[in-house]
């Protein structure tokens, strides 16, 4: 499946204010301009979502929120590919979000010390074509896929009271039937078969009329911390580095000295799985390994 050359994206919009994700997207040297559009997205999720579902769900919410903002743009309009991402750290079935304060960061690092935890990163792409009026196409409805059903965890820092209807609704024992108010491109998209990224990730593409409209996927990595002393934890937290990061650490820079071993994908742990993103970009006709794209 390949996008028609007359419909190829003319820009990529990153739905994130994260400087790390902006840096990583830039590292791919994509042949189209990259813009940043931060979104205010509800990250409340219910306990029926497992980690894979959480990151796929939230990455897609961010892409949708950005696409909805883009849909109001005046002339000139662009064929836009929107990128959303989300990363969570999971220990003992609990999602470790960003620390509330320095003491919370210290407590989290003590829990991670000498142990293995999981890092899940979700990526979603959403194609928003130009319209005759200069605004982007109307957004109606897109059914979003996810891949597994397992023990439920919730995004930390929120109260899971069951009042928010999740995007991904249970439908049987082995799948989720998504119900997403807000996105489609005036056509009913159909999700294709699951694609595998080795043994660390999965992704799927939704298409209508043989043209890709969206893609969603995730990766899973394992990180082992070495045994940390209280002095090291206190000193690291004092730098301020962990205070804006899920799990209270960053794999890049100073935080790397806390880590003994990574099994999976380094860039996934950093916040954006580039190998997965590369595979997901190809159906949209975007590749850093081509000399140019016909338009």
Q: What is the pLDDT of residues 180-233, one digit of tens each?
A: 333 333 445 677 778 889 889 998 888 876 778 889 999 999 999 999 999 999
How do the domains of the chain map onto residue ranges? 5-98+118-221+265-284
CB atoms within 10 A of CB 234: 12
Sign of CA dihedral 243, 245, 248, 253: negative
Helix (H, G, I), strand (E, B) or coil at 39: coil
Under CATH, what is the fold of the domain 5-98+118-221+265-284?
Answer: Maf protein (3.90.950)
Q: With contact defined as beta carbons under 8 Å apart, do 216 and 124 qualify?
A: yes
Distance of CA 226 to the CA centre of its chain: 27
- Nearest 5 degrees, angle CA 45-CA 51-CA 54? 35
Q: What are the structure tokens assigned to 128, written together?
A: 């928003």
More confident residue, 101 or 290: 101
Per-residue pLDDT of 247-282, as tens digits, reads: 999 998 899 999 999 999 999 999 999 999 999 999
Distances (CA, A) of 170 to 176, 200, 237: 5, 24, 40
Closest CA to 117 of 237, 261, 267: 261
Q: What is the pTM of this model?
A: 0.81
Q: With contact defined as beta carbons under 8 Å apart, do 62 and 228 qualify?
A: no
Residues whose CB falls within 8 Å of the CB of residue 229, separated by 6 or more in sequence, listed in order: none
Closest CA to 16 of 78, 72, 62, 54: 62
Q: Which of 40, 42, 86, 265 is catalytic?
A: 86
Confidence of residue 158 (pLDDT cuts 50, 70, 90): very low
Return the biggest CA–CA distance within the chain: 62
Q: Roughly how many angstroms between the first and final C-alpha of the chain, as a whole number?
A: 18
Q: Is 86 known to be catalytic?
A: yes
Per-residue pLDDT of 4-41, as tens digits, reads: 656 788 899 999 888 889 999 999 999 999 999 988 88
Per-residue pLDDT of 66-95, as tens digits, reads: 988 887 776 456 789 999 999 999 999 899
Residues whose CB falls within 8 Å of the CB of residue 202, separated by 6 or more in sequence, listed in order: 52, 147, 194, 195, 196, 217, 218
Helix (H, G, I), strand (E, B) or coil at 178: strand
Q: What are the structure tokens assigned to 11, written together?
A: 């820009």
- Strand 80-91 to strand 195-197: parallel, antiparallel, or no bridges (unpaired)? unpaired
User: How many CA atoms does the CB half-sphere of 44 hold within 13 Å?
Assistant: 10
Q: What span, in angstroms and rounded, lies between the C-alpha atoms of 287 and 95?
A: 33
Q: What span, in angstroms and rounded, lies between the C-alpha atoms of 83 and 133?
A: 24
């Amino acid at each position: 499946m390949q996008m028609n050359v007359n419909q190829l994206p003319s820009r990529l919009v990153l739905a994130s204010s994260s400087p790390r994700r902006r840096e990583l997207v830039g590292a791919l040297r994509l042949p189209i301009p990259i813009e940043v559009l931060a979104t205010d997205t509800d990250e409340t999720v219910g306990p029926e979502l497992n980690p894979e579902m959480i990151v796929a769900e939230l990455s897609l919410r961010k892409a949708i929120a950005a696409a909805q903002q883009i849909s109001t743009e005046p002339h000139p309009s662009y064929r836009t590919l929107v990128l959303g991402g989300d990363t969570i750290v999971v220990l003992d079935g609990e999602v470790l979000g960003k620390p509330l304060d320095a003491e919370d960061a210290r407590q989290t690092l003590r829990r991670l010390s000498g142990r293995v935890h999981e890092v899940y990163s979700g990526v979603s792409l959403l194609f928003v074509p130009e319209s005759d009026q200069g605004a982007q196409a109307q957004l109606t409805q897109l059914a979003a896929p996810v891949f597994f059903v397992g023990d439920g965890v919730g995004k930390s820092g929120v109260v899971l009271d069951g009042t928010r209807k999740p995007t991904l609704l249970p439908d049987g024992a082995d799948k989720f039937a998504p119900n997403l108010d807000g996105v489609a491109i005036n056509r009913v998209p159909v999700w294709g078969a699951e694609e595998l990224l080795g043994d660390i990730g999965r992704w799927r593409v939704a298409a209508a009329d043989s043209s890709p409209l969206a893609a969603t996927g995730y990766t899973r990595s394992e990180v082992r911390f070495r045994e940390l002393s209280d002095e090291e934890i206190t000193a690291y937290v004092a730098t301020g580095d962990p205070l804006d990061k899920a799990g209270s650490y960053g794999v890049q820079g100073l935080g790397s000295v806390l880590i003994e071993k990574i099994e999976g994908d380094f860039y996934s742990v950093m916040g954006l799985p580039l190998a997965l993103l590369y595979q997901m970009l190809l159906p949209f006709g975007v590749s850093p390994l081509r000399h140019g794209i016909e338009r």
